[in-house]
Structure 1
C-alpha cells in the first residue's frame, strides 16, 4: 500500500486497468465520513481522497487521520482543485451535493456507484429533497438561486434519482434519519447506510482538556441565525459557574473568538481537527455543552461508553434572528435529542 502526504498536489499512480475509488471532500466531517466509508468496505481498494484546496482545517484533519492510521487499501490523501471523475467501474464519494461544481460533475458521471457522505444538517435537507414524489432542485436551504442555478439543481436531482433507480446511490451517515424519511428515500432506490464511527473509535485517544466543562462553538452566529450578543452572554454565564474549554467552530468570526479569549475563565482551543477527533479522550468527569449541532450526534457515538455527559441546549426564542425560520428550527431540533450521557 502506498501512502501519499496530504501536502501532495498530485494523486498516486495507478496500476494498469485499476479503477480506484475517488473521494472529493470539502470539510473535516466529510473527510471523516469518507474514511469511515472506506473502512466499512463500501468503496473498494485503492481509495484516493482528494481535499478541496484552500481549507486549512481540512488539511489539519487529514494530517491527523493519516497519523491515526493505518488504513488498509487507502491509496492516500492529497490536495486538489477539481472534483475527480473515477473510471467507468469506479466509485465517487462526495459530501456536498449542493455544490455547483459537484453538480456539474454529476451530469457527466459514469461511475459504477455514488456514495454521499455526511455534510452536517445539509445531509437531512438533501434526503428530504430526494424523497419528494417529483424531482426538486438540489438547492441549499435558505438560498436564493438564479434561474440558471435552479436549472442546474434540477438537472442534478434528476441525475441522482436516475442513479438511485439503478441502485447506484448510497447515503452514508451517522445522523439520525427519521424512519419515515428513510422509507421515502429508499422507495426511490437510494440506500441509506448508518454508521457510528467504528474506525475513529478504534484509534487511540489523546489527553482530554484540563477543564471539566467543554463548550462546542456554534456556526449559528456566523450564519446570521442567532444574535451575537445573546450567544456571548450565554458563554460568559457558563464560565461564571466553572472554567470552560471552548472548541471553536471553523466558521466562527475571529473577532468573537478574540473577545472570548479576553475572559480568563475561557480557554479557546486553536483551530485544528474537528471535535470528533480532538475530544475522544473525554471521561465521565467531563460535560459537553452545545447549541443544536450535528457534533452532538457524532460525539455521542464517538464517546459511547466513556460516561461523558453530553448536553444539547435549546436556543431560546429571543436569540433567533429573522433569518431563522420555523423549518430551520425544526431541523435543528433533530440534533438535540439523545441520551444525556454516553454510558
Structure 2
C-alpha cells in the first residue's frame, strides 16, 4: 500500500495542521475529509495558501463513509471519537495513524496501551459510543501487531510510553512544526505581550470570575488577546472590558498566527496543548511562554 491510499479524517483546526505536517514529512499529497465548520474551512484555506500538500478537501457531516471505504490508511484526528470507533469497527482500515488532538495525545497513548479505559477523559459515555469501543480497540491492536498502527505527534510521550508502544507494535514519529515554521509569513503586528484565550469557562472547568482575574493579571500593562475558537460571545464581551486588553480575532489556530514571529514575545496561557505547541512553533525566537497553574504558580518556557 502506498502513500496515495491515505486519507486524513480531521475534526479540528489543530488536527488539520497535523495532517499538513504529516504530508510534508512524508513528501506526499493527502486528501482530507474535514468536519464542516467555519474554523476548519478557514484553516484549510490558510494552509493551502501556504502550500499544504492537500490533494482534495472534502467537507462532511457525520461519518464520511464513502471516503473512508475508498482509502485504507486513515490519518485520524480524534481517536476517542465515537464516530471513529464505529467506522473502524465496520470498515476495519488496513493502517491507522493517529494525529494530535491537543494534549489528549498522552491520554490516547495510555488508552492504546490498555492503561486506561477507552473513553474520553472526564466524559461520561453512553450508548453506541461505548458499545463500539472494544471492537475499535481490537482493530487498532491487530493493526499494531502487524506494524500498521502508530502516532504522529508533537508531544513528548516519555520514554516509558514509547518503549511500551514499541513493544506492542505501535510506531511513533515526533514532529516539531517544521513545515509550519518554514512556510509562515511574517506574523501580524500584535505587540510583545499576548494572552491566549481559553474555553475553560465554557467547559465549566473554571468560573468566569476567576478567568477574568487571570486575564487581568496576564494583561498587566496592556496585551493583545487571541480568543479560543470555542469562546462564547458572552465570554468575549466580559474579556473586552478588562483594562489594557485588545481583542484580535484571527479565526485561525494560534500556532499558525504566531509561527512567523521575528521578535521575542511574552505569551500568557492557561494549561492546554499550547504549552507544548507554542514553544515548538516559536523555537529560536527567544519568546517566553508563561503557563499559569493552580495556586498562582506559573511555569515559564523560553522558545
Alignment of 1:10-29 (within 5 A): 20-29=5-14
Cα offset, 1:19, TM superposition? 5.1
Q: Residue in 2 aligned with 1:257? A: 236
- CA separation of 1:243/1:76 partners in 2, compared to 1, >3 Å: closer, same or farther? same
- CA separation of 1:259/1:202 partners in 2, compared to 1, >3 Å: closer, same or farther? same
1: CA distance between counterparts of 2:84 and 2:244?
Answer: 43
Cα offset, 1:206, TM superposition? 2.9
- What whole-Å deviation, never above 9, does each CA across 1:179-209 have from its counterpart, x for those lacking one? 1122222221111110001111111323343
Cα offset, 1:237, TM superposition? 2.5
Q: Residue in 2 aligned with 1:327? A: none
Cα offset, 1:138, TM superposition? 2.1
The answer to whether the Cα contact below 8 Å between 1:23 and 1:49 also exists between their aligned partners in 2 is yes
- CA separation of 1:169/1:95 partners in 2, compared to 1, >3 Å: closer, same or farther? same
Count of aligned residue pairs for this structure pair = 299
2: CA distance between counterparts of 1:278 and 1:18?
Answer: 29
3-state SS, counterpart of residue 40 of structure 1: helix
3-state SS, counterpart of residue 98 of structure 2: strand
- TM-score, structure 1 normalization: 0.80
The more displaced of 168-177 and 148-157 is 148-157
Q: Residue in 2 aligned with 1:282? A: 261
Q: Residue in 2 aligned with 1:51? A: 34
Q: 1:187 aligns with which of 167, 172, 181?
A: 167
2: CA distance between counterparts of 1:147 and 1:20?
Answer: 32
The answer to whether the Cα contact below 8 Å between 1:57 and 1:250 also exists between their aligned partners in 2 is yes
The more displaced of 97-106 and 141-150 is 141-150
The answer to whether the Cα contact below 8 Å between 1:289 and 1:311 also exists between their aligned partners in 2 is yes
The more displaced of 255-264 and 158-167 is 255-264
3-state SS, counterpart of residue 85 of structure 1: helix
Alignment of 1:53-68 (within 5 A): 53=36, 55-68=37-50
Q: 1:107 aligns with which of 60, 83, 89?
A: 89
Query: Are 1:296 and 2:278 an aligned pair?
Result: no
2: CA distance between counterparts of 1:260 and 1:18?
Answer: 46
Q: Which one has the bigger strand percentage? A: 2
Structure 2 unaligned residues grouped into runs of 5+: none
Cα offset, 1:137, TM superposition? 4.5
Q: Residue in 2 aligned with 1:118? A: 100
Alignment of 1:52-201 (within 5 A): 52-53=35-36, 55-69=37-51, 71=53, 74-81=54-61, 82-83=63-64, 84-87=67-70, 90-132=72-114, 137-146=117-126, 148-201=128-181
Cα offset, 1:271, TM superposition? 4.6
The answer to whether the Cα contact below 8 Å between 1:216 and 1:288 also exists between their aligned partners in 2 is yes
The answer to whether the Cα contact below 8 Å between 2:187 and 2:262 also exists between their aligned partners in 1 is no
1: CA distance between counterparts of 2:85 and 2:24?
Answer: 26
Q: Which one has the bigger helix percentage? A: 2
3-state SS, counterpart of residue 75 of structure 1: strand
Structure 1 unaligned residues grouped into runs of 5+: 1-16, 318-332
Query: Are 1:222 and 2:202 an aligned pair?
Result: yes
Moved over 4 A (4+): none
Q: 1:206 aligns with which of 164, 172, 186?
A: 186
Q: Residue in 1 aligned with 2:211? A: 231
- CA separation of 1:46/1:203 partners in 2, compared to 1, >3 Å: closer, same or farther? closer
